[in-house]
Amino acid sequence: MLSRRGLWLPKLGDGVGAGYAHGTLASQSPALASGGLDEASSWQRLDAVLHKGRDAPILSNERFSLHFLRWERFDAVVRFCNDRGFRPHFIYYARDHPEWMNSHYVQHAKRLYTSLDFDRFLARKMAEPRYDYGALTALIRADPRVDLTVVPFARAARSGLFDSFLDAIGARPSRFFERARGRHVNANAGRCAVLAGRKVAAAMAKAGLQSRRETHIRSAFESRTAQANWQVEPFSGLDDARAKAIRAHFAASNERFAQAVWGRPWAEMVPPKTGFSRNELPLDPGPDIAADIAPVVDEMRTLIAQTVARKARV
C-alpha cells in the first residue's frame, strides 16, 4: 500500500522486525559527512537498495534531529538524497515542553544514562539546543533543497499518531494499515523504573562503565523493568509550578518558531496543559518500594561486576 503512494520503509538489518528503526543511519551521519559512503556502512546498504529503483524511502529515527544541528552532517544527508533523485521532506512533532522534558528524563533513566533527579536533570539539560525547536529546525527551514512539516504533537495524538504521520507523508490511512496500529507504544517506564535506573546508572558510573557502550546491561535492565510492570504507575516529575517555569524558559524561542512555521501563536498550536501531579521517589523511598526495586538493582549490580571482571581479563 505504501508503494502505491510512491513510498516505502527500507529494511537495513536482519531478523524479524529488525532494521526498520534507522538508528544506525542517524548515528553514522557524522561518518557520512567526514568520509562519505566508504566510512558509513549503513548508508552503503541504503544506497544499494536505492539503486534497485525503489520508491521514495521513509527514514525514521529521532536521533537524526540531533545530528542536524551540525551543518556538515545535515548537508551530507541532504546531498545523499538529492544525488539519488530524492528531495528530503522532514516531519517534526512539536510537543509542550514540560511533558517533553518529563518524557525525555524517563527515557534517560530507563536507558541508564543518568543518576540525576528530575530537577537536576532539568537544570543541566534545558540550555541544550536539542530542546529548542527553533535550533533543531534552523538548518532545515533555511535550506531550499528540502521541505519541512511541523505537526503539533497533542493534536496528532488525539487523532492518532499513526494516522497523523501517514497524512503528513501523503499516505492516507486505509484498512491496510489497521493491523499495524497499536503494536508499539513507547510507554512511560514508571516511577519505580526511574528510581531503579538512577541507582543502576550510579553503580555503572562508579565502576567506570557507560550505558551507551554496555548495551547488554541496558537491555537486561529494560527487560526486567518491563517484567516488573512498573509502567502502570507512570513517572511524573512535574507539578504546575515546574511546568510553568519550563514553559517560561522556552517561551520566546517557541513563539518565534511557531510564527515561522505556522504563522500562529505557540499557545494556540500547542495549548498548555495544567493539573500535573508530581510523584518522583526519593533515593530512600521507604521499605515497601525499596523491597520492590532491590531485586532488579541487585541483578544489575551483579551484571556490572561480571562485566568489570570480564574487561579486566582482556
Summarize pLDDT for 243-292 with one digit per residue, the tens: 999 999 999 999 999 999 999 999 999 999 999 999 999 999 999 999 99
pLDDT at 13: 63
Are residues 24 and 42 in contact, defined by beta-carbon separation less than 8 angstroms? yes
Q: Residue 16: which pLDDT band, with cuts at 50, 70 and 90?
A: very low
Mean pLDDT of the chain: 88
Q: Angle at the Cα of 190 (from 97 to 185), degrees rounded to 5?
A: 75
- Going from N- to C-terminal start, the domains of the chain cover 1-87, 89-107+117-186+240-276, 189-234+284-314
Q: Which residues pair with 149 in a beta bridge?
A: 91
The answer to whether residues 194 and 280 touch, using CB atoms and an 8 Å cutoff, is yes
- H/E element holding 58? none
The three-point CA angle 275-276-278 to 5° equals: 145
Residue 261 neighbours by CB under 8 Å, 6+ apart = 137, 141, 148, 150
- 64 with 29: CB under 8 angstroms? yes
pLDDT at 57: 82
526519593: which residue's cell? 282
Which of 32-36, 215-219, 224-228, 256-260 shows the lowest mean pLDDT across its residues? Answer: 32-36
Per-residue pLDDT band for 25 (boundaries 50, 70, 90) equals confident
More reliable by pLDDT, 20 or 28: 28
Predicted confidence (pLDDT) at residue 2 exceeds the cutoff of 60: no
How far is residue 263's CA from residue 106's CA, in Å, rounded to a whole number? 32
* Range 83-100 average pLDDT: 93
Is the pLDDT reported for residue 209 higher than 60? yes
Predicted confidence at residue 20, as pLDDT, reads: 58
Whole-number pLDDT of residue 6: 60
Q: Give the per-residue pLDDT at 19.
A: 56
107-153 residue pLDDT tens: 999 999 999 999 999 999 999 999 999 999 999 999 999 999 999 99
Q: Are 234 and 190 spatial neighbours (Cβ–Cβ below 8 Å)?
A: yes
**Sign of the four-CA dihedral 148, 154, 158, 162:** positive
- Give the H or E element holding residue 165: helix 161-168
Q: What are the tens digits of pLDDT across the range 39-67?
A: 888 899 888 888 766 677 888 888 888 88
Q: What is the pLDDT of residue 221?
A: 97
Report which of 279, 239, 223, 233 is spatially closest to residue 110, judged by C-alpha positions.
Answer: 223
Are the beta carbons of 112 and 213 closer than 8 angstroms? no
Whether the predicted model's global pTM rises above the 0.95 cut: no
Which residues 6+ apart lie within 8 Å of 120 measured at CB?
A: none
For range 76-93, the mean pLDDT: 92
CA distance to 36, 44, 125, 165, 253, per residue, from 28 (Å): 10, 11, 24, 25, 29
Give the least confident one: 3-7, 71-75, 118-122.
3-7
Hey, how many other C-beta atoms are within 10 angstroms of the C-beta on 238? 23
